[in-house]
Structure 1
Amino acid sequence: MKPSSLFLPVTAALLTLTLNQATAAQDKQRPLIPLLKAEEVTSLCDSTLKTLRKRVAAIEKLPAAHAKDTKKVLADWNKLQITLEDLQGPVDILNNVSPDAKVRSTTEACLIETNKFSTDVLQSEKLYARFKAIQPTDPVEQKLRQDILYSFDDTGVSLPAEKRARMKAILDKLGELSQEFARNIRDNNEKLTFTPAELQGLPAAYLARAKRDDKGNYLLGFEYPDFKPFMESADNSDARRRYQIAFANHGTPKNLEVLKQAMDLRHEMAGLFDLPSYADLMIRRRMAKTPHTVDAFLDEVQGAVTQLEIKEIEELRAFKAEALKTPLADTKMERWDVDYWQQKLKQSRYNVDQEALRKYFPTEAAVPWIMHVSSTLYGVDFKRVEVPVWNPEVQYYDVIDSKSKARIAGIYLDLFPREGKYGHAAAWGTRGVSTLAKRTPISTLVTNFDRNGLNSDELETMVHEFGHVLHGVLSQTKYLTQAGTNVELDFVEAPSQMYEEWARRKESLVLLASFCKTACPTIDDALLQRLTAAHNYGRGIRYARQLLYARYDMAIHNEKGAQEQPLDVWQKMEGATPLGYVPNTEFPGQFGHLMGGYGAGYYGYMWSEVLALDMLSRYDDKLMNPEVGQLYRQTILSRGGERPADQMVHTFLGREPNSKAFFAEISGQRLR
């Protein structure tokens, strides 16, 4: 792809940095994430931001008459955003995955500077005036203009000078706090020591790969492949308690201070706009529109899950009492017991052992399988290509449109845990599409899976995150700022949540065995029924926890919450749940969503699931139907944020969306 002359300096710099590891021919065929060294990050960041500032200054000096050319104004903005993303996209992903601590440090500093630059741009009265003056000629341009104006307004461009300056200071500081919060979690390399006796119950494969000290004790960190199987399988309750407390605290106490600073700054920011809370400020641009609507929705969720949660906890308590031969009255269900006894109950009641499922879902087969499913549904092919990567285990694929045979995107897969890497599962839209600039997208999938195989929960996680990847790489928007997952925050999870169903249904799962390099068992009807029953069990506990997270997020970001300490609010709210507060835990300090873009927005996970389960109905229980898949690609995935989410869903469904399927799911009434 040839870069536009307007952003040639940045793109050329990026490509030059990769030429020592990739051929010039490759660079012409596909854009790649540059493998920057620490000193190159600093140099590239400084030069790019200097170039961008000059370009902004030049645009600001243009005569007012130039603003009458709507397409020129929007094209200039598009080129500006492309240049910024050519810096920010690679820097952001390397900040989360680079094995080099110096690179992670310099990329963090660069991200802080790009955040400051963006604030400066969005406080430019001259640029704001250009967008107010244009007259869009079609719905895409109209929505783009409105979204851009919202961005300027929300950054304080219309505030009096003193308030605008304070707004900039707040946004700059929040950018720094966000990076600090993530770093405190990501760079915590503490290892907990457990005796062999404390690991009784863990599968042999887990024990074989776990690190040990010179005394034969096991050293476990906070990566999910260490933590989650331990909490599900370790027989020793005291060991589970110790691990859970440490895990809940692995971003604290520093992050409680960081979160409180952010809460105070966010509340002050809302006051600059004469709004009562940060929740009011943020939700006004989302589907829900007001905190009152969110609270009403969460009230409905609470009404649907509360009694089911209590029922499930009592079932687990009775099961625990029977298994341990203790009187029911003397048996308590602790929070660190839940995952363990749920797995024991599922093994007993449904004959489902999560560890045993790994032989059904080998990791090396699961990846080509979900690509095959995506190919069938959406008319694309995935071609493995050897390119320079930041770790030898990282894979890269070109995405090819099956009909035109054209390369339309690229994806990176970074699947396995290592020190210093982002510790959860997520998808980064590293490079957004712009058909106007003939720009193809890149998405990066980051997970921390077991190399030997996935259990059903992990398979579902992989499919979920691959849904985000598809939303990025199948987007075909004209303008970059509408690309991929640039949709309302309370819709952004819906496409990936809907895709989870393909990790649970026979018509898709039976295809997986054909991708095993050595023979692996196929999911039959009997096992599928047991897996479905096992998945359905625990919905009350699962959604009640999501409800708690959403309620907590709203509580610390409403008018009253700004006056409280984050841990005090958490202790009170978790303490009011059936399982109560776990003493000595500081969960908010590792609740990364609160600082990673979901502040006053965590409710969106359940809000978007309403739409996800409703959209699923369009497949009419025929999940591998390529006709519906193509309709979904054209009406949802390819449109990015070109239309409001509710309009896109209406077009796909052919009717107004509703919440029937969601409430059937969370109340335990949905059987599939």
Structure 2
Amino acid sequence: MSVLNKKFDTAHDTAPFSQIKDEDYIPAFDTAIEKTATEITAIINNPEPPTFINTIAAIVYSGMELDRISHIFFNLHSAETTDKLDKIAQEVAPKLSKLNNDIMLNPQLFERIKVVYDQKDKFSLNTEQQTLLQKSYRDFVRNGALLDDDKKKTLRQIDAELAILTLKFGENILAETNAYQLYITDKKDLSGLPEGSIEAARGLAEAQDKIGWIFTLDYPSYIPFVTYADNQALRREITIAAGRKAFQHNEYNNEENILKIAQLRFQRAQLLDYDTHAHFVLEERMAQQPSKVLTFLNDLLNKAKPAAEREFQELSAFAKEMHGLTRLEKWDTAYYGEKLKQKKYNLDDELLKPYFQLENVLQGVFIIAQRLYDLNFHEVNYIDKYHEEVRTFEVTTNDNSFIAIFYADFFPRKGKRNGAWMTSFKPQYRKNNQDERPHISIVCNFTRPTTTKPSLLTFSEVTTLFHEFGHALHGMLADTTYPSLSGTSVYWDFVELPSQIMENWCYEKEALELFAKHYQTGEAIPMELIDRIRASASFMEGMATLRQLGFGLLDMGWHAQDPTNIDNVKSFENSCFASTQLLPDVGENAISPSFSHIFNGGYSSGYYSYKWAEVLDADAFAYFQENGIFDKAVAGKFKTNILSKGGIEHPMTLYKRFRGKEPSVDALLKRAGLIE
């Protein structure tokens, strides 16, 4: 039996990464799938009449071993993948899809659930149990429990195909990211680039036994290059390379995958009697309907577009004045935006980075969590890691009660997908009077330390760390009975509230003074720099908002209509971007083929959630500001009503309990500088 199928003999039941071999996964999955099926069969064959405990709760607690193995495997598949893991994922995905369908489409199991659902009034259920019962019933209905046998068979085929296609989509993007390098041998082509970026590029070249500098599409390499490199031709080359990921005539092209995914999602929704995939998804979101999402996006668009157009004209005029540029292109906006920001606010990342050593920022976010929520983070070395760079922390309360294990994985490497995310290796839940505490992880791609400097973060990386840590707090402070309602298991247009609200502390003097200290001198960040950070917070916010709204409209374009007649990814994209486009189109580029959020990241019909959650977070943080950003009473209400409650009640009910009212969009518009 694989180590993965046994109870882990480790501190706090943490994953024994060093004992797991690649060849363990398939047999471990097979064993756990069989165990899960046996557990479900036992529930079906229970001779006792169906009750909440012997049916609903029993289903939720079934498959825990399989869930654990899945958490471990798929987290590594994102953060530490190899060709072997890719192959295993391709083999495992249809097996998991089949098991899910075997459960969700089982008529005898659904009949037991339906009996409990129809007789719910006689069971004296608490709020969490009522939510779980309703969720269980709806999950089965939404997964085809009411379909006839032929339609169930079709649903199984669709789900199996989708499982493979979405995996392939992500693997293609990683392959394309890894395949590109900008290799520079002439030092003058480095003009404008920060010293740390040049040093990191030299390190990449040396690692490949090359003389010169290598830049890649990994964010810590790519973003500084397009922001600072004076050589416009090279900015153009790397920008186009980033924009054509999985949109080239090669084996990694994702266009067919996208068209198939969109069509299969639509067919699935129709099979379940929904108008579109978006109608299906949004039934379990705060927004409820595609029409409401489109109204929300277009209302924001109407308010943001005038500001965005003014900003674009200002940036265009600045570029013309500076270098005689007659037309801004995609590879120019970050470069000239940074130059304009420097001129207006005398502020740039290179000025700020010495004050944002990763270690200090991490300690800062820990101190803020301590002040707000009485949490303490102790770095420990007795917990197994999946990579030597991962750091592990034990999280406790002031009275030394154990809260969570926290993993932090900060730097890019081959086999790790781009971006930043929070995940878990084990959720929080209660079973047999035991409060099982969560194991939470954040994975980032920050600027690496070099031979002469520690890891110094850009301000954007600082806000990213705070953002992912906000998600982590949502997982760590979970306090529910059932794992399927725990932590971040909430509506997806609510899940970004805990993460986005944390970013606000990055702009506050009281918070910055805790951790923004010069890495060489220890000097606290000067007040004038804090003032400039705050003043620049809404710089080019109109253009940034327009870009996000464009992504949201593209997502709804793919999913809120019948996609059957879409035959050209590029032209379809252009039609979706028509109302938000400021820059000239780049023919070689398309966003959809590498739009991981909506095609393999869980945000299909949900990309609007980022803006939706910004409304919530701006309104919620305004409450903190009214009382003081470290006010214990407000923090206590946020912890009790938002962070600890997971999905046990409707998000708006929880939010109103915290805030005393529904959120207002005005707080966001004011913060973004879009209204007075």
TM-score (norm 2): 0.91
Distance 2:182 2:12 in 1: 49
Change beyond 3 A, Cα 1:148–1:198: farther
Distance 1:357 1:632 in 2: 31
Distance 1:335 1:277 in 2: 33
Correspondences of 1:91-102 after superposition (within 5 Å): 91-98=73-80, 100-102=82-84
Is contact 1:10-1:83 (8 Å) kept? no
Correspondences of 1:551-630 after superposition (within 5 Å): 551-564=553-566, 565-574=568-577, 577-595=581-599, 596-621=601-626, 622-630=628-636
Whether 1:660 and 2:655 are equivalent positions in the alignment is no
Correspondences of 1:179-258 after superposition (within 5 Å): 179-188=167-176, 189-195=178-184, 196=186, 197-210=188-201, 211-212=204-205, 216-253=211-248, 254-258=253-257
Q: CA deviation at 1:639?
A: 0.3
Q: Deviations over 1:182-212 (max 9, x none)?
A: 1111233213334333332111211112123
Aligned residue in 2 for 1:446 = 443
Query: SS at 1:187's partner residue?
Result: helix
Q: CA deviation at 1:215?
A: 6.8
Distance 1:296 1:574 in 2: 16
Aligned residue in 2 for 1:479 = 482
Matching residue within 392, 409, 412 for 2:407: 412
Distance 2:550 2:143 in 1: 30
Q: CA deviation at 1:650?
A: 0.3
Aligned residue in 1 for 2:451 = none
Query: SS at 2:440's partner residue?
Result: strand
Query: SS at 1:388's partner residue?
Result: coil
Aligned residue in 2 for 1:633 = 639
Matching residue within 28, 36, 46 for 1:62: 46
Whether 1:86 and 2:62 are equivalent positions in the alignment is no
Distance 1:104 1:463 in 2: 31
Q: CA deviation at 1:218?
A: 2.9
- Between 557-566 and 597-606, report the one with greater CA deviation: 557-566
Is contact 1:224-1:423 (8 Å) kept? yes
Aligned residue in 2 for 1:467 = 470
Q: CA deviation at 1:542?
A: 0.4
4+ runs deviating over 4 angstroms: 9-12
Is contact 1:574-1:581 (8 Å) kept? no
Change beyond 3 A, Cα 1:337–1:76: same
Matching residue within 151, 155, 161 for 2:143: 155
Correspondences of 1:19-38 after superposition (within 5 Å): 24=9, 27-32=10-15, 34-35=17-18, 36-38=20-22
Aligned residue in 2 for 1:392 = 388
TM-score (norm 1): 0.92
Q: Percent identity of the aligned residues?
A: 27
Aligned residue in 2 for 1:19 = none
Q: CA deviation at 1:150?
A: 1.6
Q: CA deviation at 1:372?
A: 1.3
Correspondences of 1:322-337 after superposition (within 5 Å): 322-324=321-323, 326=324, 331-337=326-332
Query: SS at 1:427's partner residue?
Result: strand
Change beyond 3 A, Cα 1:356–1:112: farther
Distance 2:510 2:140 in 1: 47
- Between 572-581 and 444-453, report the one with greater CA deviation: 572-581
Distance 1:28 1:346 in 2: 49
Is contact 2:180-2:241 (8 Å) kept? no
Structure 2 counterpart of 1:360, which letter?
A: Y
Aligned residue in 2 for 1:3 = none
Cα RMSD (Å) of the superposition? 2.0
Distance 1:96 1:560 in 2: 31
Q: Deviations over 1:324-371 (max 9, x none)?
A: 1x2xxx621112111111100111110111123111000121112111
Distance 2:666 2:242 in 1: 36
Aligned residue in 2 for 1:649 = 655
Structure 1: where are the runs of 5+ without partners? 1-8, 17-23
Structure 2: where are the runs of 5+ without partners? 449-454
Q: CA deviation at 1:90?
A: 0.7
Q: Deviations over 1:498-551 (max 9, x none)?
A: 11101111111100046x775333223311121122221110110100000000
Q: Deviations over 1:621-653 (max 9, x none)?
A: 521223321221111110000111000100000
Is contact 1:81-1:481 (8 Å) kept? no
Matching residue within 350, 354, 374 for 2:349: 354
Change beyond 3 A, Cα 1:539–1:518: same
Q: CA deviation at 1:665?
A: 3.4
Change beyond 3 A, Cα 1:650–1:10: farther
Aligned residue in 1 for 2:512 = 509
Aligned residue in 2 for 1:21 = none
Q: CA deviation at 1:81?
A: 4.5
Aligned residue in 1 for 2:115 = 133
Query: SS at 1:251's partner residue?
Result: coil
- Between 338-347 and 172-181, report the one with greater CA deviation: 172-181
Change beyond 3 A, Cα 1:655–1:208: same
Aligned residue in 1 for 2:278 = 279
Aligned residue in 2 for 1:20 = none
Is contact 1:575-1:581 (8 Å) kept? no
Distance 1:160 1:103 in 2: 36
Structure 2 counterpart of 1:363, which letter?
A: L
Q: CA deviation at 1:30?
A: 4.0
Structure 2 counterpart of 1:13, which letter?
A: N
Distance 1:101 1:120 in 2: 29
Query: SS at 2:462's partner residue?
Result: helix
Aligned residue in 2 for 1:530 = 532
Q: CA deviation at 1:264?
A: 0.8
Whether 1:39 and 2:23 are equivalent positions in the alignment is yes
- Between 485-494 and 108-117, report the one with greater CA deviation: 108-117
Q: CA deviation at 1:100?
A: 4.2
Distance 1:566 1:283 in 2: 24
Structure 2 counterpart of 1:269, which letter?
A: R
Distance 2:183 2:507 in 1: 35
Is contact 2:427-2:475 (8 Å) kept? yes
Aligned residue in 2 for 1:120 = 102
Is contact 1:429-1:485 (8 Å) kept? no
Distance 1:567 1:219 in 2: 30
Change beyond 3 A, Cα 1:215–1:418: closer
Structure 2 counterpart of 1:55, which letter?
A: E
Distance 2:254 2:16 in 1: 31
Query: SS at 1:347's partner residue?
Result: helix
Distance 1:30 1:198 in 2: 51
Structure 1 counterpart of 2:102, which letter?
A: D
Q: CA deviation at 1:10?
A: 8.9
Matching residue within 364, 368, 371 for 1:369: 364
Query: SS at 1:511's partner residue?
Result: helix
Aligned residue in 1 for 2:32 = 48
Distance 2:12 2:563 in 1: 52
